[in-house]
Amino acid sequence: MSSVAVPPTGILARVSGLRIRVRPGTAACAAIVAVIAVAAIAPQVLTHRGPNAIDLGHTLLAPSLSHPFGTDDAGRDLYTRVIYGARESLGIGLGATGLAMSIAILLGFLAGLAGGLADVVITRILEVAFAFPVLLLALLLIAIRGPSVTTEIVAVGIGSAPGYARLVRGQVMHVRQAAYIEAAAALGHRRLTVIRRHLFPNAMRPLVAVITLGIGQSIVWASGLAFLGLGVAPPSPEWGALLDSGRLYITTSWWLEIMPGLVIVLVALSVTSLGRTLQHRLEGAAR
Amino acid sequence: MSTARRILVKVVTAILVLVAAASVTFFAQLLVPGDRATAILNQQTGRAQLWTPAQLAPVNHEFGFDKPLIVQYLGYVGGLFRGDLGTSYTQYKPVTQVIDAQLMPSLVLTVGALVAAWVLALAVILATVRRGRFVTGLGSTWEALTASLPTYWVGVVLLVVFAVEFRIFPVIGGTSAWGTVLPVLTLAIPLAGFLGQITRDEFEKVLDQPFITARTRGMSDAGVRLKHALRHSVLPAITLSGWALGALVSGAVIAENLFGRPGIGQVLVTAVNTRDVPTVSGIVLVVAAVYVVANLLVDLAYGLIDPRLRAS
């Protein structure tokens, strides 16, 4: 058994048992996520420079040993800026996914439990929402509210909510037919107790993995908006903002665009891959 | 249910979805903070001030803001059926005129990318499925990797490598055929990974089917793959091609901005920046319409490709 990358606590331990075998790929992904988590919590651990330390003697330097990601037009170390940008970028990803899931749980449970007219109406609303591609819905919101961090989170959150809502609804529909729900109701438990104690946890369990996948996706969407100049504005070291400010120098200083992009890709890929592993485990446990 | 009735129900549903989508964009325009006429005047003059009622009146009249809301709404939806998407706040001309000339380059880009993605996905599938552990692994890793790459990053890498370092393609391509290659690839590579992942699973299943007996007739492996297995394994991915159109449009917005290519994506980002909500709404609605119609066609075509579905 190699190192335990996913701590066996709470829900995880119960569904996957005590033996957790970790493949090398999964371990690498967990390591990347761990590094980014450290960067978000305590960036000064990973770099001795400051994110805004201007050094006009060393502008637009290509990656080297002393500047692994190169420097920008003000001589700031890009690696340091990426590390310091982690907090805001992860915050946006988590915020957007949290908002999307809250909307999805509300709509999904309402449709799945109430059934009848409520279900028809919500299903139709979701169908209309699906007619808009995520990015376009986000752009419409930004046009209305003006670009800001809050708008960005709300835009990505609302844009991705319909997909989750459909999943939650399907999950609720599936679980409410289970024999143990029937048994709990037959035992005379109140409806709310059955929902809270049995239906909710069982319907949500497979969605834990979906939430993990969603965080990676949200970070990518948010950075895409920032790339278009509609997200967090430079000089913030947020990853999307780094992409935005690097575009001016794309023909001369490739690292300003490629390096922050690479970090976003690696983080999104790691989170997604961890989510998939989790999904397999949870599905395996359900069988 | 007869076939004609089934088609009719689907077409009516699609129209209702679009009317609902139009309602969303109409009410979205009401959510702009503050007075709309003030916002328009400020946008045009580049100032941030309050205007007198006398100055606001002509703007309110021109955009119809002085009419009751229900009249505005019915006028908007009615106008859509006549091909009127409203008036741009910044350019003072019909939104249809603003986006008219931009539709073609975007259509070339998205359709070109869809075709390129299919060619790329099928080439990788035919070459790597059941070719030994290493080659198969290479194929599926490539698909998993490319499917998860964000559009802008694929575009940046292609631009830096093929336009800046090797100077094969122009950095700013415009709408020339040569300049279209990189934007098309930017959209096609992630999509090819996505389509490939789905088709690969199907292809493997189909190769194990008992009807793949052509091999015993002496047909070559390549022949079996092309003539028999492929036909049965592309169905799920075709269904998702309608959905992929949405992803392609989102990608086109980014690719057009990165490569300085004219198209609705460029107009859209400019309009978002200038808070020209009618233009943004108009484009979003046109895209939603294309998307709904494409999915309707895929849905209907599916019945033709797979006769089993016609019965249900």
Report ipTM (2 d.p.).
0.85
A50 DSSP 8-state letter: -
Flag if A140 and B28 touch (Cβ within 8 Å).
yes
Q: Name the CA radius of gyration of chain B, rounded.
A: 24
Instruction: Look at residue B297 in the predicted model and tell me its pLDDT.
Output: 85
Say yes or no to pLDDT of B83 above 70: yes
Does the beta carbon of A226 lie under 8 angstroms from any beta carbon of chain B? no
Rounded Cα gap, residues B51 and B38, in angstroms: 7
Least confident of A75-84, B21-30, B208-217: B208-217
Q: Structure tokens of A191? A: 């409806």
Taking residues B190-210, what's their average pLDDT? 85
* Continuous H helices in chain B: 3-30, 36-45, 53-63, 69-81, 95-100, 103-128, 133-147, 151-158, 177-207, 221-223, 230-233, 235-259, 264-273, 277-305, 308-311
Instruction: Look at residue B189 in the predicted model and tell me its pLDDT.
Output: 95
- The number of C-alpha atoms within 13 Å of B2 and in the hemisphere containing its C-beta is 3
Q: Looking at chain B from residue 231 to 270, which residues have their Cβ under 8 Å from any Cβ of chain A?
A: 246-247, 249-250, 253-254, 257-258, 268-269
How would residue B169 be classed by pLDDT, with cut points 50, 70 and 90? confident
Rounded Cα gap, residues A222 and A237, in angstroms: 14
- What CATH number corresponds to the domain at position B156? 1.10.3720.10
Does the beta carbon of A220 lie under 8 angstroms from any beta carbon of chain B? yes
- What CATH number corresponds to the domain at position A228? 1.10.3720.10
Flag if A261 and B28 touch (Cβ within 8 Å).
no
Whole domain around residue B177: which residue ranges?
103-309
B114 in a domain, yes or no?
Answer: yes
Flag if B292 and A251 touch (Cβ within 8 Å).
no
B138 and B238 share one domain: yes
Residue B266 vs residues B98, B279, B309: alpha-carbon distances, Å: 11, 12, 41
- Apex CA A119: angle with CA A115 and CA A125, to 5°? 170
Say yes or no to pLDDT of A5 above 80: no
Q: Looking at chain B from residue 125 to 144, which residues have their Cβ under 8 Å from any Cβ of chain A?
A: none
DSSP string, A124-141: HHHHHHHTS-HHHHHHHH
A157 in a domain, yes or no?
Answer: yes
B120 and B234 share one domain: yes
A219 in a domain, yes or no?
Answer: yes
Instruction: Look at residue B114 in the predicted model and tell me its pLDDT.
Output: 92
Does the beta carbon of B189 lie under 8 angstroms from any beta carbon of chain A? no
Instruction: Look at residue A113 in the predicted model and tell me its pLDDT.
Output: 87
B254 and B284 share one domain: yes
Q: What three-state secondary structure class fits A54?
A: coil
B93 in a domain, yes or no?
Answer: no
Flag if B281 and A140 touch (Cβ within 8 Å).
yes
How would residue A100 be classed by pLDDT, with cut points 50, 70 and 90? very high
Q: Structure tokens of A234? A: 């430079």
Instruction: Look at residue B229 in the predicted model and tell me its pLDDT.
Output: 77
Least confident of A159-163, A171-175, B4-8: B4-8
Instruction: Look at residue A154 in the predicted model and tell me its pLDDT.
Output: 93
Does the beta carbon of A250 lie under 8 angstroms from any beta carbon of chain B? yes
- pLDDT (tens digit per residue) in A12-45: 444 444 455 667 888 899 999 999 999 999 898 8
A146 in a domain, yes or no?
Answer: yes
B95 in a domain, yes or no?
Answer: no
Whole domain around residue A114: which residue ranges?
11-286
A239 in a domain, yes or no?
Answer: yes
Instruction: Look at residue B290 in the predicted model and tell me its pLDDT.
Output: 86
Flag if B284 and A132 touch (Cβ within 8 Å).
yes
Cβ–Cβ under 8 Å, residues B87 and B94: yes
Does the beta carbon of A6 lie under 8 angstroms from any beta carbon of chain B? no
Rounded Cα gap, residues A10 and A246, in angstroms: 42
Looking at the 3D structure of chain B, how many domains does it have?
2
Instruction: Look at residue B267 in the predicted model and tell me its pLDDT.
Output: 92
Cβ–Cβ under 8 Å, residues A224 and A135: yes
A2 in a domain, yes or no?
Answer: no
B195 in a domain, yes or no?
Answer: yes
B224 and B262 share one domain: yes
Cβ–Cβ under 8 Å, residues B170 and B178: yes
